[in-house]
Amino acid sequence: MVWFGELTTPAQLYRRGLWFLLPAAIWILGLLVIPGLSLVALSFAERGPYGEVVWNFSLENYRRLLGYGIFGWSPDTILILLRSLWVALVTTLICIVLAYPLAFFIASRPPRTRYLWLALVIIPFWTNLVIRTYAWQMLLAPDFPFAKLAQALGLLAPDSGLYPSPLAVYIGMITAFLPFVVMPLFSSVERLDWSLVEAAQDLYASRIRTFFQAIWPQTLPGLTVGIILTFIPAMGMFVIPDLLGGAKYLLVGNLIQQQFYASRDWPYGAAVSLGLMVMTLIGLAIYHCRGKDVDLV
């Protein structure tokens, strides 16, 4: 066959095509497959007395993950995993609820100001997440207006701050992830076919029915992207709970970080990482299956 003026065969072309795949293949192999497999291998190893990795095959790390420790069974690790799942779900949900009005507001602006509003959503990203989180520490401190207001209303003991607390973690998480839901949702809302909304109105639909039948299905592609971009990183987030949650509000991200730094227990850290990965994949699988009856295209 002739390919761009050159006489060749499909097999030759195929072989040449493989060369173009090489950079991506090396990338994935080096940064995903090998580390991933190392993590699996590591999770079956043991911690030595000085924090080194001892290559004995053992299921001890997974027993610990399920809560069996030196002092018998305790629900702590499972609690941390479930709490992480819960925080990620609540964060995603609140981001969705906040992002809908925001996306519609931005999409309904005249084109000239629309991108200004969009820029305002993106600008916080120009600041590092750690710095933004420290900023929240200050904003939620005892002598700042938010805490003062809560103290005045009797919701907070005098001279105490709003951080560290679960609330502070949620505030930090939601503000960090909101743009990840707003952006893809906005792109769906911008392309909305409003004649469907008019048709629903014409066919006696209430506002709620109009939203769920004429608008919601059209925003599903953007919403799906937003959920994936929020839920997965929220599951593993450790900067925000570390800085805003305090010692009593550990999430799985903190647990993993502790194993690799403070405790120097890499094998257990690897096992917890894999546990997190499995949980995230299960969550996505559930979403994917439930989304099957909805046309995502």
Partner 1 sequence: MTAAIRPPATGESLSIQNVVKKFGDFTALGGVSLEVPAGQFFTLLGPSGCGKTTLLRIIAGLEVPTEGRVVLMGQDLTPLPANRRPVNTVFQSYALFPHLTVRENIAFGLKSRRMDRLEVERRVRYGLEMLQLEPFAERLPHQLSGGQRQRVALARALVNEPQVLLLDEPMSALDAKLRAEVQVQLRRLQQQLGLTFILVTHDQDEAMAVSDRIALMRMGHLEQVGTPDEVYERPRTRYAAEFLGAANLIRGKRLPMGFEAPFGKLALGQTPPWDEGYVAIRPERVRLSEVEPRQNGLRVRVREAVYRGAYQEAWLEPCDIRVRTAPHPTLQAGQELWAELPVDALVVLDE
Residue 212 in contact with partner 1, rule: CB under 8 A? no
Number of residues this chain uses to bind partner 1 (CB under 8 A)? 19
Residues 217-256 that bind partner 1 (CB under 8 A): 217
Residue 8 in contact with partner 1, rule: CB under 8 A? no
Alpha-carbon distance of 33 to 27, in angstroms, equals 9
Of the candidates 252, 250, 215, 219, the one whose C-alpha atom is nearest the C-alpha of residue 234 is 252
Q: Exactly one of 206, 261, 278, 281 binds partner 1 (CB under 8 A); which one?
A: 206
Residue 76 in contact with partner 1, rule: CB under 8 A? no
Residue 196 in contact with partner 1, rule: CB under 8 A? yes
Q: Exactly one of 36, 143, 193, 278 binds partner 1 (CB under 8 A); which one?
A: 193
Min dist. Cβ of residue 197 to partner 1 (A): 9
Residue 205 in contact with partner 1, rule: CB under 8 A? yes
Alpha-carbon distance of 185 to 225, in angstroms, equals 8
Residue 143 in contact with partner 1, rule: CB under 8 A? no
Q: Which is nearer to partner 1, 76 or 193 (CB)?
A: 193
Residue 173 in contact with partner 1, rule: CB under 8 A? no
Q: Exactly one of 31, 97, 149, 203 binds partner 1 (CB under 8 A); which one?
A: 203
Q: Which is nearer to partner 1, 52 or 193 (CB)?
A: 193
Residue 137 in contact with partner 1, rule: CB under 8 A? no
Residue 294 in contact with partner 1, rule: CB under 8 A? yes
Residue 290 in contact with partner 1, rule: CB under 8 A? no
Q: Which is nearer to partner 1, 35 or 217 (CB)?
A: 217
Residue 233 neighbours by CB distance under 10 Å: 17
Of the candidates 78, 176, 76, the one whose C-alpha atom is nearest the C-alpha of residue 127 is 176
Residue 204 in contact with partner 1, rule: CB under 8 A? yes
Q: Which is nearer to partner 1, 40 or 296 (CB)?
A: 296
Residue 199 in contact with partner 1, rule: CB under 8 A? yes
Residue 108 in contact with partner 1, rule: CB under 8 A? no
Q: Give the interface with partner 1 as residue ranges (CB under 8 A).
A: 193, 195-196, 198-206, 209-210, 213-214, 217, 294-295
